């Protein structure tokens, strides 16, 4: 009897120990379009105007909290190639026109729901209309990043707003669930000032709703207030840029926006180069090459380089001959001119290309547009001229946004060009430096009339 009583006692005590803790319930975490400025690296849609310095008009990564070192070889924060590439980006007043747009999600998305014009809205601010055709909306190989790729380059000088419809009537994740926005987006969508009108971060009311959100878990009230002011500046930028207005006018009201971002395309004309696409040199005849240029070119600035005769910004080399030590054949005589009807710089060789020889084309920023602005390079040209490798020891790309396979292909070209660009007589002879190159490509020409 005593043993039985003791057993009951222990049972009750055990029940007391295990029971009585309330069931707080549970909820499912929805997939989100991410917009996290505090992550390292930031998980934000790209490209983004958030890194365009309003005072200089240039891209400035310090605005994202990742200032670039002056000397990329003496830092370990990022791969040297990334550093050098970003340094080049910081010379631009907008993003390269061949930049695909992307927005990260927290989980895989359903590609069937990414309808352009309905759930994914792209609006050209200067064009004044949404882009409803032509753009390719898709997902990266992991299906966790939404991508928007134009059929050709983005329009120079244009500012694009991109919005993604989420929630009940928008895009869906791979499991069919709704996709929501982010805390950052929720704050940017606020109608009232996030800072409650405080003149500076030291005077933010701790009961200000925006501050209450930012201050959660932030050990420093001043840091929280400073972050709040940064968000308010972004919100003001969204308002001043009419981001919400153009989305609403395009049928995507603010309350259905899971993510909204905008970005400018630089205004400078650019010789286009994107291997694997039409943006490569066109060889209409065995003695002629056309290099497409996006944007106008001042014809007066287009001239050919001739050794010891003319120091023009358009340089053509027979790399095969030069490699064999034949410097005369290495710089074949050419003429260069801008053909407005083709939107291309035509390079006319005095003689047909030697069969099987590799040609090298180099343009400097001596080429200008009619407004006097120098042409700028396309990203591929820049990548080919970096001093740092584009792949690491494991074969992975060292530049964000550059796929491993593309990086490997470009690295081969970079390594082929590096001895030339590092040759001590190359710059004195041609006037070409890595800094003034706006076009750099090597290829074995194949005539395609």
Partner 1 sequence: MTKTRVSRPGFTGVFATALAALAVLLAARPCLANGFLIYDISGAGMARASAVTADDEEPAAVWYNPANLAYMKGVSASAGGVFLTSKSTFSPSGGGPDTSTIRGNFVLPEFFATGRIGDRVAVGMGAFSTFGIGISWPEDWVGRESAIKASLQTLTLNPTVAVLVHRQVSVAAGFDAVRSVVDFTNGLPAIVGGDVRLAGGTWGYGFNVGALYKICPDRLHVALTYRSRVKLSFDDGHAHFSPANADFAPTLPDQGGTAALTLPDVITVGVMGRPRNDLALSFDANVVLWSTYDRINIHFNSAPDRAIVPNGHDSFTLRGGADWTFPERWPGLHLRGGLIYDHTAMPSGNLGPGLPDADRIDVGLGAGYGRGHFRGDLGYLLVVFLPADATGGIEGPVGTYRTMAHLLGLTLTASWQ
Distance CA(174)–CA(182), nearest Å, equals 18
**Cβ at position 424, least distance to partner 1 in Å:** 55
**Cβ at position 7, least distance to partner 1 in Å:** 9
* From 56-64, 122-130, 213-221, 393-401, span contacting partner 1 (CB under 8 A): 213-221
**Cβ at position 1, least distance to partner 1 in Å:** 5
CB atoms within 10 A of CB 236: 13
Query: Which of 449, 429, 221 has its CA nearest to residue 311?
Result: 429
Of the residues 133, 216, 446, 448, which one makes contact with partner 1 according to CB under 8 A: 216
- Kindly state whether residue 167 participates in binding partner 1, applying the rule CB under 8 A: yes
Distance CA(429)–CA(433), nearest Å, equals 11
- Kindly state whether residue 447 participates in binding partner 1, applying the rule CB under 8 A: no
Of the residues 5, 128, 276, 325, which one makes contact with partner 1 according to CB under 8 A: 5
Residue closer to partner 1 (CB basis): 219 or 356: 219
- Please, which residues bridge with residue 439 across strands? 363
Q: Among residue numbers 306 through 325, which ones bind partner 1 (CB under 8 A)?
A: none
Strands (DSSP E) contained in 111-198 are 120-124, 129-130, 136-139, 145-149, 159-165, 167-172, 178-180
**Cβ at position 404, least distance to partner 1 in Å:** 29
- Kindly state whether residue 21 participates in binding partner 1, applying the rule CB under 8 A: yes
Distance CA(7)–CA(9), nearest Å, equals 5
- Kindly state whether residue 294 participates in binding partner 1, applying the rule CB under 8 A: no
**Cβ at position 189, least distance to partner 1 in Å:** 8
Distance CA(300)–CA(304), nearest Å, equals 11
- Kindly state whether residue 17 participates in binding partner 1, applying the rule CB under 8 A: yes
Q: Which residues contact 347 (CB under 8 A, 6 or more apart)?
A: 288, 289, 290, 291, 304, 314, 316, 334, 335, 336, 361
Of the residues 53, 190, 306, 348, which one makes contact with partner 1 according to CB under 8 A: 190
- Kindly state whether residue 92 participates in binding partner 1, applying the rule CB under 8 A: no
- Kindly state whether residue 210 participates in binding partner 1, applying the rule CB under 8 A: yes
Interface mask (CB under 8 A) for partner 1, residues 239-278, using x and -? Answer: -------------------x--------------------
- Kindly state whether residue 61 participates in binding partner 1, applying the rule CB under 8 A: no
β 178-180/31-32 pair status: parallel
3-state DSSP of 252-303: CCHHHEEEEEEEEECCCCEECCCCCCCCCCEEEECCEEEEEEECCCCHHHCC
**Cβ at position 234, least distance to partner 1 in Å:** 15
Q: Among residue numbers 326 through 355, which ones bind partner 1 (CB under 8 A)?
A: none
- Kindly state whether residue 22 participates in binding partner 1, applying the rule CB under 8 A: yes
Report helix, strand or coil for 2: helix
**Cβ at position 238, least distance to partner 1 in Å:** 15
Q: What is the full DSSP assignment across 185-216?
A: HHHHT-SS-TTTT-SSGGG--TT-HHHHHHHT
Residue closer to partner 1 (CB basis): 218 or 348: 218
- Kindly state whether residue 12 participates in binding partner 1, applying the rule CB under 8 A: yes
Cα 435 → chain centroid: 20
Residue closer to partner 1 (CB basis): 10 or 284: 10
- Kindly state whether residue 133 participates in binding partner 1, applying the rule CB under 8 A: no
CB atoms within 10 A of CB 77: 11
How many residues interact with partner 1 (rule CB under 8 A)?
46
Report helix, strand or coil for 146: strand
- Kindly state whether residue 9 participates in binding partner 1, applying the rule CB under 8 A: yes
- Please, which residues bridge with residue 360 across strands? 317, 442
- Kindly state whether residue 191 participates in binding partner 1, applying the rule CB under 8 A: no
* From 3-11, 116-124, 246-254, 283-291, span contacting partner 1 (CB under 8 A): 3-11
- Kindly state whether residue 13 participates in binding partner 1, applying the rule CB under 8 A: yes
Distance CA(145)–CA(143), nearest Å, equals 6
Residue closer to partner 1 (CB basis): 23 or 446: 23
Residue closer to partner 1 (CB basis): 229 or 426: 229
Residue tagged 């994202």 (tokens) = 64
Q: What is the full DSSP assignment across 49-104?
A: GGGB-TTT-SB-GGGGT-PPPS-GGG--SS-HHHHHHHHHHTT-SSB-TTPPEEEE
**Cβ at position 173, least distance to partner 1 in Å:** 11
- Kindly state whether residue 6 participates in binding partner 1, applying the rule CB under 8 A: yes
Residues that bind partner 1 (CB under 8 A): 1-2, 5-6, 8-9, 11-13, 15-17, 19-27, 29-32, 106, 167, 178, 180-183, 185-187, 190, 206-207, 209-210, 212-213, 216-218, 258
């Amino acid at each position: 009897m005593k043993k039985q009583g003791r057993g009951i006692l222990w049972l009750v005590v055990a029940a007391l120990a295990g029971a009585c803790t309330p069931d707080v319930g549970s909820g499912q975490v929805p997939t989100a379009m991410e917009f996290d400025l505090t992550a390292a690296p930031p998980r934000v849609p790209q490209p983004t105007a958030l890194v365009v310095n309003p005072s200089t008009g240039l891209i400035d990564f310090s605005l994202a909290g990742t200032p670039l070192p002056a000397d990329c070889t003496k830092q370990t924060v990022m791969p040297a190639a990334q550093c050098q590439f970003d340094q080049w980006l910081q010379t631009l007043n907008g993003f390269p026109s061949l930049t695909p747009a992307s927005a990260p999600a927290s989980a895989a998305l359903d590609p069937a729901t990414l309808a352009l014009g309905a759930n994914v809205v792209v609006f050209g601010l200067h064009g004044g209309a949404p882009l409803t055709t032509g753009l390719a909306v898709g997902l990266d190989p992991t299906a966790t990043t939404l991508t928007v790729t134009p059929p050709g380059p983005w329009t120079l000088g244009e500012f694009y707003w991109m919005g993604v419809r989420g929630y009940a009537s928008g895009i869906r994740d791979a499991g069919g669930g709704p996709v929501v926005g982010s805390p950052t987006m929720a704050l940017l969508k606020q109608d009232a000032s996030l800072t409650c009108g405080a003149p500076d971060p030291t005077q933010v009311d701790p009961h200000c709703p925006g501050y209450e959100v930012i201050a959660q878990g932030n050990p420093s009230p001043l840091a929280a207030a400073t972050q709040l002011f940064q968000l308010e500046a972004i919100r003001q930028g969204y308002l001043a840029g009419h981001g919400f207005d153009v989305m609403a006018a395009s049928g995507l009201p603010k309350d259905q926006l899971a993510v909204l971002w905008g970005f400018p395309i630089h205004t400078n004309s650019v010789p286009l180069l994107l291997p694997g696409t039409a943006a490569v040199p066109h060889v209409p005849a065995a003695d002629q090459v056309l290099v497409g240029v996006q944007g106008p070119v001042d014809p007066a600035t287009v001239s050919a380089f001739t050794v010891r005769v003319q120091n023009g910004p358009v340089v053509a080399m027979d790399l095969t001959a030069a490699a064999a030590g034949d410097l005369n054949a290495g710089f074949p005589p050419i003429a260069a001119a801008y053909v407005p009807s083709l939107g291309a710089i035509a390079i006319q060789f005095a003689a047909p290309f030697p069969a099987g020889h590799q040609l090298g084309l180099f343009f400097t920023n001596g080429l200008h547009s009619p407004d006097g602005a120098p042409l700028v390079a396309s990203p591929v040209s820049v990548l080919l001229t970096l001093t740092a490798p584009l792949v690491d020891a494991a074969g992975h790309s060292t530049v964000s946004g550059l796929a491993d396979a593309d990086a490997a292909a470009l690295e081969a070209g970079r390594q082929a060009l590096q001895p030339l660009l590092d040759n001590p007589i190359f710059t004195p002879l041609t006037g070409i430096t890595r800094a003034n190159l706006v076009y750099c490509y090597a290829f074995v020409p194949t005539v395609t009339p």
